[in-house]
Chain A
Amino acid sequence: MSKFLPLWPDQASSIAGQVDALYIYLVLVSAVMTLLIFVAVAVLAIKYRRRPGIAPHPIEGSPILETAWSVIPFGVMITFFIWGAVIFFRERTPPTNATEVYVVAKQWMWKLEHMEGQREINELHVPVGQNVKLIMTSQDVIHSFFIPAFRLKQDVVPGRYSTLWFKATTPGTYHLFCAEYCGTSHSGMIGNVVVMEPQDYTQWMAGGPSAPLPEAGKQLFASLGCATCHRFDVQGRGPNLQGVFGKPVLLEDGRTVIADENYVRESILNPTAKIVSGFKPVMPTFQGLVSDEQLNALVAYVKSLAQPASGTLNQAAAAPAGQPQTKQVQ
């Protein structure tokens, strides 16, 4: 990319080339359309310019022509729609094997936390060729995580998780911008995404001191007293959380929801919003008691319980996830 007058952004993700291809298609179609209209206006205006003795010829219209120039452009627009929707569908369906990174945005910085425990501020290191999924939330106002070189952007909204996934294709350092206006230093809420060769990445990872994120979550799970009700051995006052994540959960009101990141988050902050079938709304809220980083650790921990390590839980997993075992006995 020319640093003096960049006319095209770097292309560094698996989706970037697809977005560029669609963009070029639209630019070409638009250029042809614009030129067509400009030339038509210029030619007609000059050819039929006002001259003495030449009277204009009244024309009422032409239903055939009007239908043609409604239907044909609409047909072309449908190709814009389909192509755009296909790319969007890919952007919004993360592969299941993605490495996860938690992102917490706040005025005016990005805090990133790898599953292995490495923490970064305003900088994200990722390996080339690896699917990466960002699980993002904001501590205050709405922000937006924008990497032009990846052609990707996702608003980061307080009170919920939003996700973004990508596969970086070219090593290098790329801009990370906040794209949703967030107050005084909005334009200072910028950073870098560093895409590294796998071996460099492994080396970089090894430099980190911290414990893995699920491990931190496990400690919180114990210290916050979650484990007294959410027991793994016998049925406690709360559902057994092993094998729950990613599965459908039957609720007291008859609905079924998928236990995703937002569900776990909501169940911690607003436990009475969705009560699992067979349980009572006895859990206190942890709103204001746990930070967004601690929430992320708890979510990562609950997630790590999805694959039972030992064989003791197989019978529980056979029942619909979250269903209390007592009911199964009855």
Chain B
Amino acid sequence: MATTVIPAQPTSKPTNYLNDGFTLKSWLLTTDHKRIAMLYLVSVTLFFFLGGFFAMLIRLELLTPQGDLVSADTYNKIFTAHGMIMVFFFLIPVVPAILGNFLVPLMIGAKDLAFPRINLLSWYLYIIAGGIMIHVLLNGGVDTGWTLYSPFSTQFSNTNVIEAGIAIFIVGFSSIFTGLNFIVTVHRMRAPGLTWSRLPLFIWAQYATSLIMILGTPVIAITTVMLAVERLFHLGIFDPKLGGDPLLFQHLFWFYSHPAVYIMILPSMGVISELIACFSHKRIFGYKIVALSSIAIAVIGFLVWAHHMFVAGISLYAAMIFSFITFFVGVPSAIKVFNWTATLYRGAVSFATPMLYAFGFIGLFTIGGLTGLFLASLGIDVHVTDTYFVVSHFHYVMVGGVVMGYLGGMHFWWPKITGRMYPEGWAKLSALFVFVGFNLTFFPQFVLGYVGMPRRYWQYPPEFQVLNVLSTAGASVLAVGYLLPMIYFAWSLRYGPIAGPNPWGAAGLEWQTPSPPPTTNFDETPVVTWEAYNYDEIEPKHDFLEGTGER
């Protein structure tokens, strides 16, 4: 293996991106992709816990059939806030803006992204949009649901719809800029010898995600503008009383918001490919088809939006066509799951925490994906759409998939990001809490949906209570699972064992530079002469959990 390019052990106290300036200015005006990733880490984490706080309020209200904790209007604002924050301020940016920002240049042997200042701009746009969102919440919130369906949002809601629309509009540009940056970077800044077929699968996934970001996000921006125009000037676009068509809104909204689901899940799938390869100590089974399946998901994902509208009033045959195409998306997702599983065969499988998250991802994403097939099947969708079955399905994909991938990735690259190992025992415990808590929260909701409880209900018939209590109990366990990493990651910053450049014995350029990486990533531009995941050239490690043993 060509480790000779980079000196494995730095000779003196290194200058890395973390100790390269300590002033506030050196952080807030940085153009270093790694520092921007850290800015995102802090801000996205804050929004995650804000969204999680609203989730807990929802679960507490639903402990009893009567609406008793908060008023109906407040409840509607709470689930709207939960949805908007989690979708636009957590799930969409979480993996691309944190792990993607940090890793894309490192993985392709570049010094930074193609447009470092646009990268910083995209963080500022995120912060401005986040500020507006918080302003909305402090000023009484918004009660349209994150889906903003017209004519409720344009003519009937008396809350801050326009302001929330502005926040979504702006945060969309943050996402477009990130996507643009990644695409140009992957095209133009790969290290010599790093051909497309040698790219890590994480890069393929980020690339596919970026395509959706730049092609899909403008549509939601246009849609929010149209919504604002109708609301402010009563120009008939969506409201039939003004001559508009309410289904037009749904078409436009889902034309973005369905592909947005893949903006969320694809980057996590990329993370899982890295984890499975490293902890099986093997090249991913069928590298090419796994890489192409990401692109396939991105492309087919644009052709299935109306499956959210089977009972909304689209024609019988339109529904059938969209149902049929939806099953096609199942194929590339299934390929990934099977190929990950096959990678374990004749590998050297380690049970380190990141791998536990990868197993968790496979389990939860399998359930999330299969229940997606229930919803794609017209006869069943009519009954379960707009019930807790849908709520459970997309949480299995969004939380079971995206968040498991993100946490797995955070544990895996934490030593690279900070130079320190996290405490393995605590991490395993929290992974267990997340897995058990998640299933306890959301599995009962499948049953709840099939017996008929509609979503977005503040009060409900008493026979649904037991299942709701189980779900709330699970949410409490899940919350512990999410809080634990906050504590031990913070602890490890000071007390974690020193990790060294490559604690896992992992392939990939990011592991061939010191931890934390120097500001310019590599002292010399690496030259790649090997295929991706060349694990047969690396000795499997058995004691990586101890780091280098230094403190």
Contacts and interface: CB of A to CB of B under 8 A. Distances in A.
Contacts of B145: 181
Contacts, number: 286
Given A59-B346, A155-B312, A80 B289 contact: no
A52 B386 contact: no
Interface stretch (B213-221, B257-265, B377-385, B516-524): B377-385
Contacts of B202: none
Contact of A183 (B152, B335, B382, B447): B152
Interface stretch (A32-40, A212-220, A251-259): A32-40
Contacts of A291: none
B27 interface: no
B324 interface: yes
Given A74-B330, A146-B454, A85 B378 contact: yes
Contacts of B286: 60-62, 66
Interface string A85-125: 11111011100000000000001000000000000000000
A311 interface: no
B347 interface: yes
Contacts of B281: 50, 56
Contacts of A23: 374, 380, 450
Contacts of A141: 149, 151-152, 155-156
Given A37-B341, A48-B344, A3 B67 contact: no
Contacts of A151: 382-383
Interface stretch (A4-12, A234-242, A302-310, A313-321): A4-12
Given A157-B247, A179-B387, A45 B351 contact: yes
A274 to B, nearest CB: 15
Given A45-B349, A187-B457, A187-B458, A61 B316 contact: no
Contact of A59 (B282, B334, B376, B447): B282
Interface string B313-324: 100100110011
B280 interface: yes
> Which of A50, A55, A62, A69: most chain B Cβ within 10 A?
A50
B136 interface: no
Contacts of B334: 69-70, 73
A298 B319 CA distance: 31
A160 B240 contact: yes
A26 B73 contact: no
A37 B455 CA distance: 30
A159 B387 CA distance: 25
B363 to A, nearest CB: 6
A267 to B, nearest CB: 15
Given A66-B286, A140-B156, A8 B451 contact: yes
Interface string A47-71: 0111110111111111001100110
B362 interface: yes
Interface residues of A, number: 91
A243 to B, nearest CB: 27
B192 to A, nearest CB: 24
Contacts of B450: 8-9, 23
B246 A19 contact: no
Contacts of A8: 450-451
B456 A153 contact: no
B460 A187 contact: yes
Contacts of A40: 341
B349 A48 contact: yes
A41 B338 CA distance: 10
Contacts of B311: 144, 153-155
Nearest to A159: B240
A269 to B, nearest CB: 9
B359 interface: yes
Contacts of B378: 84-85, 87-88
A49 B149 CA distance: 51
Given A26-B377, A50-B281, A73-B330, A157 B313 contact: yes
B223 interface: no
A158 B246 contact: yes
Size range of the chain B interface in the assembly: 35 or more
B536 interface: yes
A206 B286 CA distance: 71
Contact of B380 (A1, A22, A69): A22
A186 B240 contact: no
A1 B447 CA distance: 13
Contact of B373 (A57, A80, A162): A80
B441 to A, nearest CB: 17
B540 interface: yes
A130 interface: no
Interface in A144-184: 144, 146, 148-149, 151-155, 157-160, 162, 175, 177-184
A61 B288 contact: yes
Interface stretch (B40-48, B50-58, B461-469, B481-489): B461-469
A48 B346 contact: yes
Interface in A197-247: none
A87 B327 CA distance: 17
Given A157-B312, A159-B240, A146 B452 contact: yes
28 contacts: A4-B463, A5-B467, A6-B463, A26-B377, A30-B370, A30-B371, A30-B374, A41-B344, A41-B362, A44-B347, A45-B344, A48-B344, A49-B349, A59-B345, A62-B342, A70-B334, A70-B335, A73-B330, A80-B376, A81-B327, A107-B156, A141-B155, A152-B382, A153-B386, A155-B313, A159-B245, A162-B313, A187-B456
Interface of B: 67, 72-73, 76, 143, 145, 147, 149, 151-152, 155-157, 239-241, 243, 245-247, 280-283, 285-289, 310-313, 316, 319-320, 323-324, 327-328, 330-331, 334-335, 337-339, 341-342, 344-351, 359, 362-363, 366-367, 370-371, 373-374, 376-383, 385-387, 447, 450-452, 454-464, 466-467, 535-536, 540, 542
9 smallest beta-carbon distances between A and B, as pairs: A159-B240, A148-B452, A87-B379, A84-B377, A61-B286, A88-B378, A44-B344, A187-B457, A57-B346
Given A59-B285, A177-B454, A179-B387, 11 more contacts: A5-B466, A5-B467, A7-B447, A22-B377, A30-B367, A50-B350, A56-B281, A62-B286, A85-B378, A89-B316, A181-B147
Interface of A: 1-9, 18-19, 22-23, 26, 30, 33-34, 37-38, 40-41, 44-46, 48-52, 54-62, 65-66, 69-70, 73-74, 77-78, 80-81, 83-89, 91-93, 107, 140-142, 144, 146, 148-149, 151-155, 157-160, 162, 175, 177-188, 190, 270
